[in-house]
Structure 1
């Protein structure tokens, strides 16, 4: 009777988790949904999506047919319908280790690799592992807001160091040292950069890790856009500096293969001196994954690690014969090892073309400044000069009105840590990107202050 009375009086004993609500309040998806809510349904023109990070809908960014065949073969073999191990199937971990070792001066072991549900779960895992009472994490500004959201939910304090736009978005190392204290556990580097489109030079990355060693912290290197570079700076994996300070690399097949929906990522410990093991980080990663979901089994590999070519297919899909099924393996080893090089060359060439369009078209709009030409990833940051516009309050107001008047979606900079900036993606069809900038130019002309 007491319970009935409490319920009748509205005194329920359960409630939502306020920390979770606050952590998820500002996300890229949430902000873009707000902006999309301003679209004019009577505008017959196609919506130009310059705020997203998923180019897979566009013909120029279709994934490799080889990767698609590898997935078909794995699924149709009926050998991958069971559970994965919590840290990833051994042969798939071996394939990732072999793949990443090509860029390193040492060879990674499968024991250094932990498979995750995309790079998002990898970020979630390492932030959770580091979240002890009183600890703080150093994040770049501008940066990828999921780190901050996840840290907030985990009770891990975040402090932001600056990236310097006039210096190709290099890390302000003085601000890193000024922010750090005895409770700082790690700093995050995103290379190639999201949202800035920068690619860090070897010399600068070495200074970053030397600073981290001086502070006694590890470096989390977000390399989800690895090798998507098209400027003068080649991609340099942070793991090459692991002898200086421990490096945890996170990555996935999402961006380079243009398959974010396939949800296969990894955490890699670059730690030749075994410091991460001694400090309990490796055991904590395993502990996190033991209480989490696993990547899809068919995206990984069979346990014996056998390697074979994916079956040939004609115009119509041919499923493997029963006698061939023992040779079929999971998708990832095939995708990492055998994707034709011309696929990557095409993607990088298209990104270079669209990055050039983005940079050159921005010069035609007086109220927008692009301080640094993008050389990697799929994004660029552009600064708004609101003093040249009438009736525009801030970056969010700019983006909402742009959506309403021109059916163009752009992410306001506040969502990535820079107010009155814009993050623009150029991973889109070249013709659509041209159209989008023509509409932005028309919008800015319409709202320009009269002399």
Structure 2
């Protein structure tokens, strides 16, 4: 494989006329997957401890979060039907697109109803992100507003597409609402879109109707579209209801990304709905899953979601309570959605930890627990803990976190000495 770089490859004295794409290297450098693999390599395999790696946000291995039999049977029936052995059209097959439109229309007002042709099927949320980002990157001066913290694949694809990234902050003191004043100040005439993640990964909040309405009004004022990532819309376990951004499509243009991977706990199935009508560049997603999609959406019982939400609520309560055993980690707000605990790291309480990345790398090395450092999501000295797993696994994770903290915590004697020196 040719190395990335600006120089032609030189092997055994021969100069070849090809070279690597530097944009690929730049994008990979900020990709979450690259960081996770790097952290896996830092595990101490000689410790005889099992590797606890809940951080990719994949609860499907847990018995408490297994998908419903109706979804599994729909896929099996599609595979046996003989109707899913060919190539699919690029936008997705009509019956799958119609089923998605019908499913989503149940939550949308009459003026925002979808047609089948408004729905575009892709092979996973990341591919939908890539298609959308690429399609708006035509202007070399264009920029996009991304949340901080946020999902790093947006950053990676924007870097790859040479689309300038500008950040807006989420405010923990206001239930992680968007700082709309700062967003407006950061935007200019070259801003083409903003990304909204609701329910929010990693913060675990759900935005109110009033706040989303203000977001839409701001987007109209700035003349930009809203890319609304709603992958976790079926993973809401707090009191605040989920409101789709499509409710406000009459105010500003909205592209919605939705997925079965989180709601049905099947991240390996890789089907997503990107609601747009101007995209036509993608490899065909799985035809078997498209054939099964109408039955999955129609036949999944309400009890499945109720049981999953109950299990997620138990995990959130347990994790939030057990976090008190590790005083250097603080969660400003109990999550009400998604499957993460988003916690602030206080390095002043630790004797040899420089920052969140150092914390996570030493944790995985000493305790074989893999957490995501906040710097990977755009926030220094925060940590994302995935909690979508069984109670016994969560107890072990927090037991190991407690042991790690006790080893690295600054002793009372050192703390008192430091305080006394500070008053001299």
The answer to whether TM tops 0.5 is yes
Match of residue 189 from structure 1: 196
Match of residue 57 from structure 1: 61
Shift of 1:408: 0.9
TM-score, length-scaled by structure 2: 0.92
CA contact (8 A) 2:356 2:380 kept: yes
SS at match of 1:348: helix
Instruction: Map Cα deviations across residues 67-103 of structure 1 (whole Å, 9 max, x no partner).
Output: 1111111101112100101101011100000001111
Equivalent in 230, 248, 253 of residue 260 of structure 2 = 253
Does 1:231 find its partner at 2:238?
yes
Does 1:177 find its partner at 2:184?
yes
Shift of 1:26: 2.3
CA contact (8 A) 1:116 1:265 kept: yes
Does 1:70 find its partner at 2:74?
yes
Equivalent in 10, 15, 18 of residue 11 of structure 1 = 15
SS at match of 1:49: coil
Does 1:331 find its partner at 2:292?
yes
Does 1:130 find its partner at 2:91?
no
Match of residue 405 from structure 2: 444
Match of residue 34 from structure 1: 38
Shift of 1:46: 2.0
Does 1:102 find its partner at 2:106?
yes
SS at match of 1:36: helix
Shift of 1:363: 2.4
Match of residue 323 from structure 1: none
Equivalent in 425, 428, 433 of residue 394 of structure 2 = 433
Instruction: Map Cα deviations across residues 313-336 of structure 1 (whole Å, 9 max, x no partner).
Output: xxxxxxxxxxxxxxxxx2000000
CA contact (8 A) 1:116 1:295 kept: yes
Match of residue 278 from structure 1: none
Instruction: Map Cα deviations across residues 225-262 of structure 1 (whole Å, 9 max, x no partner).
Output: 11311112111000001111111101111100011111
Shift of 1:380: 2.4
Match of residue 419 from structure 2: none
Match of residue 398 from structure 1: 359
Match of residue 418 from structure 2: none
Does 1:140 find its partner at 2:147?
yes
Does 1:297 find its partner at 2:303?
no
Instruction: Map Cα deviations across residues 406-451 of structure 1 (whole Å, 9 max, x no partner).
Output: 1111011100001111011111111111110111011111100112
Shift of 1:7: 7.4
SS at match of 2:342: strand
Match of residue 114 from structure 1: 120
1:151-162 equivalence runs, <5 A: 151-162=158-169
CA contact (8 A) 2:199 2:242 kept: yes
CA contact (8 A) 1:50 1:411 kept: no
Take 1:423 and 1:336, find their aligned partners in 2: how far apart are those partners?
Answer: 30
CA contact (8 A) 2:30 2:155 kept: no
Q: List gaps (5 residues or longer) in structure 1.
A: 1-5, 270-281, 301-329
SS at match of 2:86: coil
Shift of 1:151: 0.6
Shift of 1:196: 0.9
Does 1:208 find its partner at 2:221?
no
TM-score, length-scaled by structure 1: 0.87
SS at match of 2:199: coil
Instruction: Map Cα deviations across residues 187-236 of structure 1 (whole Å, 9 max, x no partner).
Output: 00001111111111111111111111111111000001113111121110
Match of residue 364 from structure 1: 325
Count of aligned positions: 400
Does 1:382 find its partner at 2:372?
no
Q: Cα RMSD over matched residues?
A: 1.2
Does 1:355 find its partner at 2:316?
yes
Take 1:215 and 1:79, find their aligned partners in 2: how far apart are those partners?
Answer: 46
- Which structure has more RCO (C-alpha within 8 Å, separation ≥ 6)? 1
Does 1:346 find its partner at 2:307?
yes
Tell me whether 154-163 or 360-369 shows the greater mean CA deviation.
360-369
Match of residue 420 from structure 2: none
SS at match of 2:250: coil
Shift of 1:401: 1.0
Take 2:378 and 2:57, find their aligned partners in 1: how far apart are those partners?
Answer: 17
Match of residue 94 from structure 2: 90
Q: List gaps (5 residues or longer) in structure 2.
A: 1-9, 413-424
Take 2:196 and 2:249, find their aligned partners in 1: how far apart are those partners?
Answer: 14
Shift of 1:42: 2.2
SS at match of 2:60: helix
